[in-house]
Structure 1
Amino acid sequence: MLDNQVCQKARLSRDARFDGKFFIAVKTTGIYCRTVCPAHPPKEENVEYFSSAFLAAQSGYRPCLRCRPDSAPDSPAWKGAGATLDRAIKLIDQGALQQSSLPELSKRLGVSDRYLRKLFNQHLGVSPKAYALYQQCLFAKKLLHQTNLPITEVALASGFDSIRRFNDCFKEQLKLTPTQMRKQKKSTNSKVVLQLFYRPPFNWQQMQLFLSARLIEGLEWITPDSYGRHFSWQGSVGQFTATHIEGKNCFEVEVQLDELKTLKPVINNIRRVLDLDADLVQIEQDLVTALPKAFKLTLGLRLPGIWSLFEAGIRAILGQQVSVQAAKNLVHQLVHALGDLAPNGRYFPSPHSVANNDLTFLKMPDSRRQTLIRFAQYFCDTYEPEVPDNWLQLKGIGPWTVAYAKMRGQSNPDIFLGSDLGIIKALKAQAAAAETSLEISPKDQRTLSPDLASPWRSYLTFQLWSQL
């Protein structure tokens, strides 16, 4: 059953993380839409919510021609048989067809390439390759606008092996040539520098404090205005530094990669790590409405992400039942013992390196060492390890670990860490403050109920942490 209040908050935010989770039908127009539809949002009394596009259609609504709800992520049209199409889209967006062929991708998905083409043509109206090429061209357009990279390097960074193929595809998809798209600039700068914009407010000071407290020297670096780190991605390695420019509501991000063809998914992941796509105005309005009057929001608070789900899981296991500083020390030991060498530092260890070490250098109970090894081996052996709920089958991993990894490794907006000791302490402090407040009458006092903050409970978690 859908909660109408939660759905209302999500639709007004237009947050892409809810795209496909439910659908909005408008009684006055007879149309149903996705949560990210650009049309002006209708009044709540004219809205009906459905868990699937199919149910909306069965109730007499027709699909919106602007947002195409039949093609929303996670909707039946995208999922096809099971989750095949959903996984295919995700893998293609990560560059699967740049690194391998369509038959290889199909084999990875457990279907024939003919069936995969049929799914794409049936539900999206294009072939898998056409979808991939369009996404590559859109990313190339961004690079042409914002960087001084030579066009040959833009082609490579966008996943094209041939400059001729790049020119032909770009012209076919966007009706312009790459040289027409950009003003010619000469530069000897080999680094890629992009501006990544966000909707204010953005409380960089709070994010900087949170990241500083957990910073692993050699892996990451931070200044009053910037954050950066070494990273690996799909077989390539690199580093980035994101500098906050408050007056422009953006981060200037400098990226260095050994393989430019992975640049697009790397940029997308940087946006997630910095939580640049959230609408904080809408989120904070919903939180103010749901929370007690005594609760003082820290404005502009974002969700600082962790680079990968594997790293988030490792950090969560090392953070079980210990202080932030103790967990930081353990992560530091792991990185500097097992991480590959990077320029002036280290990369985060791979699942293989953790799984094939006894980890006796970590000063912690042996049961937790074995949990780390089992977890890393799971990532080595399991075809699709990035489904955190499945980790619960591993001895030593409980709900807190899974929830923490979801919140920071996947940037899930609706995770509440109710069993966290810091959250328990903050909740007690909030209750005590509400009882002693002279500004709020007894009839207006109410206890803090995390469920009322849905679908933004991750932001509530960070709000509580910020008040410790």
Structure 2
Amino acid sequence: MHTDFERCLRAVRSKDARFDGWFYTAVRTTRIYCRPSCPVVPPKPENMTFYPSAAAAQQAGYRACKRCRPDASPGSPQWDERADCVARAMRLIADGVVDREGVPGLAARLGYSTRQVERQLLAELGAGPLALARAQRAQTARLLIETTELPMADVAFAAGFASIRTFNDTVREVFALAPTELRRRARPGTGAAALPGTLALRLPFRQPLCPDNLFGHLAATAVPGVEEWRDGAYRRTLALPYGHGIVALTPRADHIECRLSLTDLRDLAGAIARCRRMLDLDADPEAVDGLLGEDPVLAPLVRKAPGRRVPRTVDADEFAVRAVLGQQVSTAAARTHAGRLVTAYGRKIDDPAGGLTHLFPAPAELAALDPETLAMPRTRRATLTTMITALADGTVQLGVGSDRDRARAQLAALPGVGPWTVECIAMRALGDPDAFTPTDLGLRRAAAGLGLPATPAALIRHSARWRPWRAYAVQYLWATDDHPINHLPTD
């Protein structure tokens, strides 16, 4: 979008927050870059330059606006929706792969050479992987500076900087303030009050957002010991690269209140990225609802509760296991099966603020599973163990940088994994906005009640008008049923 000067100019003049994260406005006279909704008086058009990423603006010598904080804007929907190399790279960078494995590690995960990855990112984003990772480190550092009392040396280490000097230089260059000045200027109330050892953050999103099915689904399907709804917040444990964490997420009018407790602060950026993915916070509700609202059948549903998101997951492998456990059983039965696996194979953790007890076991930890101990049909036990083995040995790859089409083919090749399971995993684990489950009983029942075709083949033909947002159409259709997954839980 940043190449369409007139469209960007209109967004800046109207201070339209829906375009935050789509592009960044750099002002040549002040050497500052802003988000489109910045409240200051827009500069003259001849002084504006538009960039596709904060990293590109920083690389061109611009510093972040101290008022609109462009580093804290929602992410671009492009990287959430698209499945090409650049989008996969952006998801991996957000998950911290460059900091942990370097650019060669990023390239290896994508299946390209380092040079190819750098060339593609530079061509589309105006910045290479190192610059993009540096911009993320700067944002992580700012969060820690403003929301904790950690010594600056610990902040630098946790944010991924190699030295205190690099940390200081980067913060001054990006924010035009020294780290100590940033902390001094942090306004009271920018974050929610938190328990000692807990980080309190605000996760932004594009309006509108309907929390009902989003949090309702997560709470209704919560695995005992791993997830819970407590005091108006969805809480869960997180298995992370350097350690583990516990997150509490509370829906607010204009943000998600996020409280994070981490055993290793180097996991902060990755934990935030996973929470954003799970809540689908980088979605573009204007585009989704605009298209779905053109269907006369869906239009009343969209008007009634606009901004529905797709409840996703923090761990794709975990969801794949849970999807198999949930085949042809009730929500309660699926929770029971998953809870037994967690108790038997999950690592125990402490949760002073609630009732969480375990991390969901990784495929490698489930390799010792005895299928005879599972109270389910023999064929589904075989499907579960096959899925676990495929995830553990890499036959099926579902990470944030995975190729969605290849992952679908890998899943479909597993015995006992049918179209419903494949599409559920594509929707919630791979984040495919066009995933569709025409054989789902709840979906077919909703379609029939609305006068839509009820057979899978006819429903697929009708759904062509909803592309590329069929996963969101599913959420609107499911919401016609009075099921707990469609209601915000009450304490």
Contact persistence 1:295–1:430 (CA under 8 A): no
Q: C-alpha distance in 2, partners of 1:107/1:209? A: 38
Alignment pair present for 1:459 and 2:459: no
Matches within 5 A, 1:113-262: 128-183=129-184, 189-223=196-230, 225-246=232-253, 249-262=254-267
Q: Distance in 2 between matches of 1:279 and 1:169?
A: 31
Report what 1:66 is aligned to: 50
Equivalent pairs counted in the alignment come to 399
Q: Could you say what secondary structure the match of 2:366 adopts?
A: helix
1:202-260 per-position Cα deviation (integer Å, ceiling 9, x unaligned): 332443332232122211110362101011022421110012233xx112111011121
Q: Which region of structure 1 is more displaced relative to structure 2, 286-295 or 331-340?
A: 286-295
Letter in 2 for 1:212: A
Would you say the 8 A contact 1:354–1:372 is kept in 2?
A: no
Task: Give the Cα–Cα distance (whole angstroms) in 1 for the partners of residues 460 and 201 of structure 2.
Answer: 45
Alpha carbons of structure 1 residues 393 and 286: separation in structure 2 relative to 1, 3 Å? same
Unaligned runs of 5+ in 2: 8-18, 26-47, 57-75, 189-193, 351-355, 454-458, 482-491
Counterpart amino acid of residue 365 in structure 2: S
Q: Is the 8 A contact 2:223 2:339 kept in 1?
A: yes
Aligned to 1:372: 384
- Report the CA distance between 1:423 and its aligned residue: 0.8
Aligned to 2:359: 347
User: 1:122 & 1:201 partners in 2: Cα distance?
Assistant: 32
Matches within 5 A, 1:17-36: none
Structure showing greater Rg: 1
Q: Aligned equivalents of 1:206 and 1:382: distance in 2?
A: 33
Residue 401 of structure 1: CA displacement?
0.9
Judging changes above 3 Å, is the alpha-carbon distance between structure 1 residues 205 and 296 closer, same or farther for their aligned structure 2 residues? closer
Q: Residue type of the partner of 1:401?
A: T
Unaligned ranges ≥5, structure 1? 1-10, 15-22, 28-33, 41-63, 434-445
Q: Contact 1:291–1:449 (CA<8 Å) still a contact in 2?
A: no
Q: Which residue of 2 aligns with 1:274?
A: 279
Provide closer, same or farther for how the CA distance between residues 149 and 299 of structure 1 changes in structure 2, counting only shifts above 3 A: farther
Query: For 1:203 and 1:26, how far apart are their aligned partners in 2?
Result: 31
The letter of the residue matching 1:413 is P
Decide whether aligned partners of structure 1 residues 137 and 333 sit closer, same or farther in structure 2, where only a CA change above 3 A counts.
same
Task: Judge conservation of contact 1:291–1:453 (CA < 8 Å) in 2.
Answer: no
- 8 Å CA contact 1:275–1:303 kept in 2: the answer is yes
The TM-score with structure 1 as length reference comes to 0.73
Question: Contact 2:293–2:299 at 8 Å: present in 1 too?
Answer: no
1:272 positional shift: 1.7
- 1:92 deviation in Å? 3.5
- AA paired with 1:370? A
Residue 164 of structure 1: CA displacement? 2.7
* d(CA) in 2 for partners of 1:127, 1:228: 35
RMSD: 4.1
- Kept in 2, the 8 Å contact 1:340–1:346? The answer is yes
Q: Is the 8 A contact 2:279 2:310 kept in 1?
A: yes
Structure 1 SS opposite 2:224? coil
Matched, 1:327 2:298: no
Contact 1:230 1:238 in 2 (8 A): yes
Shift of 1:321: 1.7
Deviations 1:66-102 (A, max 9, x none): 3559x9978xxx97xxx5x766554443223322455
2:283 counterpart of 1:283: no
Q: Secondary structure at the match of 1:333?
A: helix
Residue number in structure 2 paired with 1:396 = 416
What is the TM-score of this pair, normalised by structure 2? Answer: 0.70
User: Counterpart in 1 of 2:98?
Assistant: 97
State how 1:294-333 maps to structure 2 within 5 Å.
296-297=301-302, 298-300=304-306, 301-333=308-340
Counterparts in 2 of 1:329 and 1:200: CA distance versus 1, 3 Å: same
1:183 counterpart SS class? helix
Distance 1:108 1:242, change over 3 A: closer
| Kept after mapping to 1: 8 A contact 2:213/2:475 | no
One of 463, 466, 472 as aligned partner of 1:450? 463
Counterpart in the other structure of 1:436: none
Picking from 414, 431, 438, the partner of 1:418 is: 438
**Relative to 1, partners in 2 of residues 1:411 and 1:106: Cα closer, same or farther, differing over 3 Å?**
closer
- Give the C-alpha shift of residue 305 in structure 1: 1.5
Q: Which residue of 1 aligns with 2:35?
A: none
- Rate the CA distance shift 1:190–1:275 in 2: closer, same or farther, 3 A: same
Aligned to 2:191: none
Determine if contact 1:220/1:230 at 8 Å carries over to the other structure: yes
Distance 2:272 2:51 in 1: 24
Which letter maps to 1:95?
Answer: G
- Measure, in 1, the Cα distance between the counterparts of 2:265 and 2:219: 29
CA distance 1:281–1:320, change in 2 (3 Å): same
